[in-house]
Chain A
Amino acid sequence: MGLSIGLLLFVGIGESYRVSPMLLLTNICNQAELLKSSIDANLKLGVPIEFQGFGLQAQKLAEQSEQIVRVDIDSNVRNRSTGEAAPNAGATDTQNLSCSMGDKALLRVLTIDWKGLAFESNRPGHHSQYQIKLILEDKIGPVGQLIINPTPGIFNQVINDQFRPVVIFSLLLIIFVPIGIALAQHFVSLHPVRLQKTLYHLTFVVVGFFIIINLIQLYASGIKGQSFSLANSLEARLNAPFKLGFDIDRDLSGIDTLFQDYRLKNQDISHIYLFHDGHVSAASVTEQYAGEECSGVRGDRRGSSGNSDNGKIDCSISSLAYETNNEDFIVTRLPLTNDSYQIVVKTPWEKVYDRLWDATRNILVLFIASILLSNMLLDVLLTVQGNVLKRKPKNGSKDSPKDNPEEISIQSDGLSQSLKLIRPVFALGVLMEAVNLSFLPAYFTRLFEGSGYSASTVFGLYFMCFAASLFPAGRWAEKHSLRNMMLAALTLSVGGLVGLAFTDNPLVILLLRAFAGFGQGVLFIAVQSYLLQLESKDRSIRGTEQLVIGFNMSTISGAAIGALLMPMLGEQGVFMTGTLIGLSCFLYCAFVVKDLDIAPSITKLEPLENRGKGYSIQHLLTDIEFYKSIILIGFPTKALYVGVLIFTMPVLLKEANFDTDVIGQIIVLYYLGVLGSTHLISKFKSRLQQTEWILFFGCIGSGAGLMLIGQQNWFLGLDVVSQLSDHAQNIVFIMVILIGVLTIGVSHGFIHAPIISHVVKSKKATLVGKATTGAAYRFLERLGHVSGPALAAILLFNSDNSVRVESLTTVGIGVTLLGILFVGLNGLSWLYELVRYNKMLHTGEKNA
């Protein structure tokens, strides 16, 4: 609980660091730009940079602004040759910020003050120092620079002040909720597990709710500050004519253009008005709101710098939503020196909500990831707790276990517990790699630039080693300790990952990824074999489903958590996080997991003869059912997963201008679909004995999902849709993509786990051994992984690297046909078996 609430806080605060400092920086830059434009204007008018008045203006800004502590003017910039450092450039602990930097770049520069979130600190020198340098220019070129020093710790302080109560409240919850749970369990004995999980999730929701509320306040105040500094800047500029005895309406034009320039620089602002005696004198309004309030206010008014705006716009101040508590807009109003004039700046609340949506989406994804992980960890804890409780009365009892009438039930419980105990091994093992998923391709591309290797070489090597380890691991798993295999695999994986944090040598990285690939492959097979053994003992245990669930759960959680951690911790930090997860998994495996005894039921199924390697392969090579499953279902599904979902979909979504994190979250929907349907199948599998039909429906669903995405243009071209607004059409487009991806995910859930059950239940598989068959299948399945991107490049991409969307329909039809063929062939073989059986019966009767 502490871990997941901590992670939630980490993400919530991290999200606030992504948005709030950016708003603050814009605010500071607005103020700095105001001073810069004033100085620039004077420099262009011939006033020398050494003019003392500039220093006074700078001092005044520092005194008036809460966000700026000092402003300096460096007049020696043009005397330095290119590359020569500014006198204060080498100042220690001072980092340069730029007004044009994006939120991600800013986040990389900022140092997060974690301690300040819990304790208030005013210690001097405690906070990081930042500087913003703006070039001052006259008509000839740069003559100096304006050095803005934001208040030390300003970026942290705002967030810390806002979140400190939330952190303290969360800490209290972390301490008191478990006590509450213990007390509740003491008094209420019904459904203790459900109670525990409910209270845990409730705590998560409450903390999440508080984080969102605080984010709203933080963003709103940031946007208000931004609007205010902008209005302030305009006020200063528009007051100049009055100070010289002129009147804006009477003497000057082009205010609309000025407003438009401001609005375009500050994309959050929707309206800027200049009111004169209660009527709009000048305005700039985004297209979205053009004409909504004033018939004369046009969006993006241009060309009015001449004298085309002589007439006043027919809109009175009373007709505008004007109060600062407006429910649609944040409104800032400033009177000019001539108080018949007022500047009104409006920012829609939806800008706050848009930013909040990112945070909420991330929190939601994290919530899902956290539920998945915490459910698993809680199960483990409850299992361990249950074992301890059960052991106590057993120790006191003199009855032999054999005399115990509940022995069978306990045995079944034991298998179920083993399942619960093994799940974290695979989940954490995959999680340690999955946290890197979101940034690894970009990281390797950057790192390998000019080295002669490409990022695809590393991925290729990783998958090759993964695939190469499968078959030998499967063979090894038949006879040796699975626990030791897991430990060895985790050692390789952890070694491969921790090395990445300390090296950028391409060859070493290749070697490390090879280790990691081997490790992950061996771990996969070891856990799969363990689950298959459990499944063999008890048919109610769905081992392969658990494997698929574990893989997808960890991928979802890892990708979500990794993407959220990366901006704050950096690549090395995330590698170290992955290493810690791997080490925890190793320790868990060493102390909790035990090898299973070989059950008699399995022994019966194993062939008595010595099963050499050649013997196994010989059997597999002659197994038509095995081939059919691979060629018609397994290979296309994996090729589709890697080729379409991992390779093509991000490009397609990028073409549609989706952000990278949104793309990641859309892909997560696929994993959720897989997870949901796998879970569903594992529940109803006892009623769904015919795995052929499950696989068939999986193929049909995959095909339908692909066809849906492939026909997006057809949907958008429908009369009903094309008549909608751009916004609504966008929603339809997003819905088509989401439903398509989810459908493919759900359908793949019908395939990923059932296909293993389908493959290992064949007669040949019982001869070869389930672990070997499973490993062989996984190995061949990997060919789909390897060839997926190449097939996608051929089938789905145009020569200019754009996605040929319509081709997805063709692929969808192909997948559907393969499913039909699969069922058709099964029908034929069933008919063949029936005919043969009838023949045998007929022959038997004759003989009789």
Chain B
Amino acid sequence: MPSFTRLRQPTTTAIAVTKMKRFVKIAASCFSMFILIIFLPQTGYSSVQSEAPKSFCEHLDITPAHLKVRGPGCRIADSSWLAQLSNFKDFAEPITVQTTPTARSKVLILSPKWSSAYDVASKTIIEEFHSRGVTTEFILFNYRGDTAQAKTIIKSAEENGVDLIFSMGSATTAFMTEYYKEGAIPVVSACSKDPIAMNQIDASVGMSQHNIAYTSLNISVETQVAYLKEKFLSGLNLIAIIYDRNNPSSIRTQVNPLKDYLDNSDTGIRFELIEVDFSRINKSLYQPMRRFVAHKGEEGDRVFLVTGSTELFDVIEDINVAAKDVPVLSVTPSHVMAGDHSVFMAIGVSFKTNAKLAADYAFRILKGQSHTQTLAVGVVSTPDIAINFKRKPLGSIKVPFNFFEDAFFIFNYDGIAVRADGKSAIASH
């Protein structure tokens, strides 16, 4: 890297110009973003929230083609589910999905809101059950953040002989832990943050010992660091952890565990914390980043690690500019997007993979092979990787071949997806 590039500091004018350019770029990429917002929910990748579709059943298009709903299919739940809900002024109608003419078990999927992430997770769970030959009737219910509705539907579930409940999302899992841990129906959490970091489970025990089996949307910090140091940058000795001070859940589940691990292990990696206060973003984010970059030694000796936060992701392009040739990585696969609005690489757990794990837990519980009380927290051992080569720093940093093979999303040097959801996106080439 030429020395003048390293020494150059962005001036106020330069930042203003950069912001202008960024605005133009954002505008220019609107179309592609729009396409992706439409496209990614289909592939189960995006976590961007979506409004409740007019017909949820149409939206819940289960792929591949032969798995499409047959028999009773997808419809509004019958009156036994609606009776008690009718006391509420405003409620979402529960939906039943059945992939076979008959069903031997009933499963309730309880979500706090309509979200493309939960759509992906729900579809994955339904596909997994179908693929394993478990004939099941799924009841999907969005309680709209109203725990009273959630309690009502749980009561209906008990009356209707539901065999298992999926608690979708961290909020639902927190509610279920508080309200239903001694309940009659077994519960499996999905798309929820690490229950240990969220204090839902005692770390020393590692299992719930009650009615809820937990899965984690976070990979273990050991795996995270091993992937960074052993498989990617062998000379890595410094990580700058960028986090949003107003996002306590990411601090609890991502920042603190990593900090504790690096403090107490012999990985030889030190860390710097960049706590972002969006009211003074220049001072709290860009200036520390510049300092971090200015002291760069060998190539690949340091990285920026962006933790999960929508606000942080909104300024990801500024972060990339400030990072110069230091790689910007993330633990959230959804931080890798098409175009410029992306980190270079993410190593984490996708909603789909987490949902598969949750489905596996549910299968084992329904088959009587495992019990919620004794199931260890479900952590995905092989993380999902997503790479955007357009955000690969200049210099000689290369992507490990096995990362390339394992990456479920790859964007090329133009920021265009060449592999999407594990499948080649340029088959016609």
Binding site for B on A (CB under 8 A): 41-42, 44-52, 75-76, 78-79, 81, 138-141, 143, 237, 240-241, 243-246, 248, 250-255, 257-258, 303, 305-308, 310
Known contacts A46-B422, A140-B357, A244-B412: A254-B400 contact under CB 8 Å? yes
Residue of A nearest to B234 (CB): A306
Supplied contacts A41-B406, A139-B382, A245-B418, 7 more A-B pairs, CB within 8 Å:
A48-B131, A52-B64, A79-B132, A244-B412, A244-B418, A245-B426, A251-B389
Interchain CB contact under 8 A, A305 and B231: yes
Interchain CB contact under 8 A, B234 and A305: yes
Residue of A nearest to B409 (CB): A45
Q: Which residues of B contact A244 (CB under 8 A)?
A: 410, 412, 418-419, 424, 426
- Segment from B24-32, B254-262, B318-326, B348-356 that makes contact with A: B348-356
Q: 26 A-B residue contacts at CB 8 Å?
A: A41-B405, A44-B408, A46-B44, A46-B124, A46-B352, A46-B421, A50-B64, A50-B67, A79-B133, A79-B134, A81-B369, A139-B382, A140-B357, A240-B404, A240-B405, A246-B404, A248-B401, A251-B404, A252-B398, A253-B401, A305-B231, A305-B402, A306-B233, A306-B400, A307-B398, A308-B234
A813: min CB distance to chain B, Å: 55
Cα–Cα, bound, A243→B406 (Å):
16
Q: Which residues of A contact B160 (CB under 8 A)?
A: none
Partner of B133, one of A47, A76, A81, A254: A76
Residue of B nearest to A37 (CB): B405
Cα–Cα, bound, A624→B423 (Å):
93
Cα–Cα, bound, A48→B66 (Å):
12
The answer to the question of B232 belonging to the interface, with a C-beta cut-off of 8 Å to chain A, is yes
Task: Give residues 372-391 of B contacting A (CB, 8 Å).
Answer: 380-382, 384, 389
User: What are the 5 tightest A-B residue pairs by CB atom distance, in nearest-first order?
Assistant: A45-B422, A306-B234, A253-B398, A254-B400, A45-B408
A165: min CB distance to chain B, Å: 46
Known contacts A244-B418, A246-B389, A306-B232: A252-B399 contact under CB 8 Å? yes
The answer to the question of B367 belonging to the interface, with a C-beta cut-off of 8 Å to chain A, is yes
The answer to the question of B397 belonging to the interface, with a C-beta cut-off of 8 Å to chain A, is yes
Residue of A nearest to B352 (CB): A46
Residue of B nearest to A51 (CB): B64
Cα–Cα, bound, A47→B128 (Å):
11
The answer to the question of B275 belonging to the interface, with a C-beta cut-off of 8 Å to chain A, is no
Cα–Cα, bound, A244→B423 (Å):
11
A86: min CB distance to chain B, Å: 14
Interchain CB contact under 8 A, B410 and A140: no
The answer to the question of B11 belonging to the interface, with a C-beta cut-off of 8 Å to chain A, is no
The answer to the question of B396 belonging to the interface, with a C-beta cut-off of 8 Å to chain A, is yes
Partner of B408, one of A46, A143, A237, A310: A46
Q: Which residues of B contact A44 (CB under 8 A)?
A: 382, 406, 408, 422
Binding site for A on B (CB under 8 A): 44, 64, 66-67, 124, 127, 131-134, 230-235, 299-300, 350, 352-353, 356-357, 360, 363, 367, 369, 380-382, 384, 389, 392, 396-402, 404-406, 408, 410, 412, 418-419, 421-424, 426, 429
Residue of B nearest to A137 (CB): B382
Interchain CB contact under 8 A, B404 and A140: no
Cα–Cα, bound, A46→B396 (Å):
31
Interchain CB contact under 8 A, A81 and B421: no
Interchain CB contact under 8 A, B356 and A138: yes
Cα–Cα, bound, A35→B363 (Å):
28
A57: min CB distance to chain B, Å: 13
Cα–Cα, bound, A254→B400 (Å):
5
The A contact surface, by secondary structure, is loop
Cα–Cα, bound, A776→B231 (Å):
75
B67: min CB distance to chain A, Å: 7
Q: Which residues of A contact B405 (CB under 8 A)?
A: 41, 237, 240
Partner of A253, one of B67, B363, B399: B399
Interchain CB contact under 8 A, B399 and A310: no
B417: min CB distance to chain A, Å: 10
Q: Which residues of A contact B382 (CB under 8 A)?
A: 44, 139
Partner of A140, one of B66, B67, B299, B356: B356
Q: Which residues of B contact A252 (CB under 8 A)?
A: 398-401, 404
Q: Which residues of B contact A257 (CB under 8 A)?
A: 401-402
Interface-centre pick from A45, A47, A237, A258 (highest chain B CB count, 10 A): A45
Cα–Cα, bound, A49→B64 (Å):
10
Residue of B nearest to A240 (CB): B405
Partner of B380, one of A139, A240, A254, A258: A139
Cα–Cα, bound, A48→B380 (Å):
17
A53: min CB distance to chain B, Å: 8
B395: min CB distance to chain A, Å: 9
Cα–Cα, bound, A143→B132 (Å):
9
A795: min CB distance to chain B, Å: 49
Q: Which residues of A contact B429 (CB under 8 A)?
A: 243, 245
Cα–Cα, bound, A79→B104 (Å):
15
Interchain CB contact under 8 A, B398 and A139: no
Residue of A nearest to B133 (CB): A79
Interchain CB contact under 8 A, B398 and A50: no
A656: min CB distance to chain B, Å: 36
Residue of B nearest to A250 (CB): B398
Interchain CB contact under 8 A, A241 and B426: no
Interchain CB contact under 8 A, B234 and A258: no
A34: min CB distance to chain B, Å: 13
Cα–Cα, bound, A46→B385 (Å):
12
Interchain CB contact under 8 A, A307 and B424: no
Q: Which residues of A contact B134 (CB under 8 A)?
A: 79
Cα–Cα, bound, A253→B300 (Å):
13
B65: min CB distance to chain A, Å: 9
Q: Which residues of B contact A258 (CB under 8 A)?
A: 401-402
Cα–Cα, bound, A140→B405 (Å):
18
Cα–Cα, bound, A305→B234 (Å):
8
Q: Which residues of A contact B392 (CB under 8 A)?
A: 251
Q: Which residues of B contact A47 (CB under 8 A)?
A: 421-423
B262: min CB distance to chain A, Å: 19
Residue of B nearest to A311 (CB): B396
A255: min CB distance to chain B, Å: 6
Q: Which residues of A contact B404 (CB under 8 A)?
A: 240-241, 246, 251-252
Interchain CB contact under 8 A, A307 and B299: yes
Residue of B nearest to A143 (CB): B131
Cα–Cα, bound, A307→B389 (Å):
16
B79: min CB distance to chain A, Å: 33
Residue of B nearest to A49 (CB): B131
Known contacts A76-B133, A243-B424, A244-B424: A139-B399 contact under CB 8 Å? no
A453: min CB distance to chain B, Å: 41
Cα–Cα, bound, A609→B350 (Å):
105
Interchain CB contact under 8 A, A251 and B353: no
Cα–Cα, bound, A45→B399 (Å):
18
Q: Which residues of B contact A254 (CB under 8 A)?
A: 231, 400-402
Interchain CB contact under 8 A, B127 and A48: yes
Residue of B nearest to A52 (CB): B64
Interchain CB contact under 8 A, B131 and A75: yes
Cα–Cα, bound, A254→B353 (Å):
26
A76: min CB distance to chain B, Å: 7
Q: Which residues of A contact B234 (CB under 8 A)?
A: 303, 305-308
Q: Which residues of B contact A143 (CB under 8 A)?
A: 131
Known contacts A253-B400, A258-B401: A50-B66 contact under CB 8 Å? yes
Cα–Cα, bound, A166→B276 (Å):
81
